[in-house]
């Protein structure tokens, strides 16, 4: 196994199991639909709440898709192969996460113009929202991967994983939504963006290592 063959195999896997990606995108859309129907469907409420709704739905969709990130690999023995392959496990983790992030985040970004019309998102906060999603969803994936690796050996690990990881998501969501809030009232929003970038860099360094440690502990 080399890094390239690993990447190709993972690409094939994601493509063969397209239903997983489609499911999480559908889940994302359904959560978004819940808010106008459940709270208030008037443009006045929605234009204020749009970015928050999109962010909450994105975080939940990512959480559900990350939950099973290593499940199949654990059950079919692939994780053991990672450990004995002689390749660096953190880099394998990073490759897998990057790939999954691409497959989940790209549909979300493509849907964003439609959603922002439907939710009456003000025009001046579309690009800030876009940038915040590009910048912060990788951190959600990286942190979620840790929880997924920690609970991979449990039969019912989903709830536990959400319990561990969701508190870590909250700061990211707070800063991400404050980007669009600042943009809506015409304030500069580079400070929360800088903090999001800092969180992304920290999790980029820490998360693959921690995920690898958890995988090694789980596989034994």
Partner 1 sequence: MSWAWFHRLGSPKWFYGRFKAWPKPLFCLACLCLMVAMVWGLAIAPPDYQQGNSFRIIYMHVPSAILAQSCYFFMGVAGLVYLVWQIKMSPIFLKAVAPFGALMAFIALLTGSIWGKPTWGTWWVWDARLTSVLVLLFLYMGIIAVQSALEERSLADKAAAVVSVVGLLNLPVIKYSVEWWNTLHQGATFSITEPPSMPMAMWLPLLFAVIGMYLLAAAVIMWRMQTEIMRREAKTHWLKQEVLSDGV
Which residues make up the interface to partner 1 (CB under 8 A)? Answer: 143, 146, 150-151, 153-154, 160, 163-164, 166-168, 170-171, 174, 199, 202, 206-207, 210, 213-214, 217-218, 220
Q: In terms of C-beta density within 10 A (0-12 exposed, 13-18 middle, 19 or more buried), how is residue 5 classed?
A: exposed
> Which is closer to partner 1, CB of 108 or CB of 195?
195
Are the C-beta atoms of 102 and 62 separated by less than 8 Å?
Answer: no
Shortest approach of partner 1 to residue 200 CB, angstroms?
A: 12
> Which is closer to partner 1, CB of 106 or CB of 206?
206
Shortest approach of partner 1 to residue 111 CB, angstroms?
A: 28
> Which is closer to partner 1, CB of 9 or CB of 160?
160
Shortest approach of partner 1 to residue 86 CB, angstroms?
A: 22
> Which is closer to partner 1, CB of 104 or CB of 152?
152
Shortest approach of partner 1 to residue 219 CB, angstroms?
A: 10
> Which is closer to partner 1, CB of 109 or CB of 206?
206
Shortest approach of partner 1 to residue 72 CB, angstroms?
A: 19
Are the C-beta atoms of 159 and 82 separated by less than 8 Å?
Answer: no
Shortest approach of partner 1 to residue 32 CB, angstroms?
A: 22
> Which is closer to partner 1, CB of 116 or CB of 148?
148
């Amino acid at each position: 196994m080399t890094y390239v063959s690993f990447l190709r195999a993972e690409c094939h896997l994601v493509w063969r199991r397209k239903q997983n990606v489609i499911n999480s995108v559908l889940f994302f859309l359904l959560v978004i639909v819940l808010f106008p129907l459940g709270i208030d469907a008037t443009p006045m409420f929605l234009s204020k709440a749009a970015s928050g709704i999109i962010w909450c739905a994105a975080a939940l969709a990512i959480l559900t898709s990350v939950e099973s990130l290593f499940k199949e690999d654990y059950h079919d023995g692939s994780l053991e192969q990672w450990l004995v392959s002689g390749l660096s496990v953190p880099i394998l983790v990073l490759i897998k996460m990057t790939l999954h992030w691409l497959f989940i985040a790209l549909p979300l970004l493509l849907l964003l113009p439609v959603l922002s019309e439907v939710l009456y998102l003000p025009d001046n906060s579309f690009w800030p929202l876009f940038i915040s999603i590009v910048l912060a969803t990788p951190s959600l994936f990286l942190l979620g991967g840790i929880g997924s690796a920690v609970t991979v050996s449990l039969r019912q690990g989903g709830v536990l994983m959400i319990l561990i990881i969701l508190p870590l998501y909250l700061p990211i969501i707070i800063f991400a939504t404050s980007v669009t809030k600042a943009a809506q009232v015409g304030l500069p929003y580079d400070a929360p963006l800088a903090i999001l970038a800092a969180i992304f860099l920290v999790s980029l360094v820490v998360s693959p290592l921690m995920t690898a440690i958890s995988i090694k502990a789980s596989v034994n």
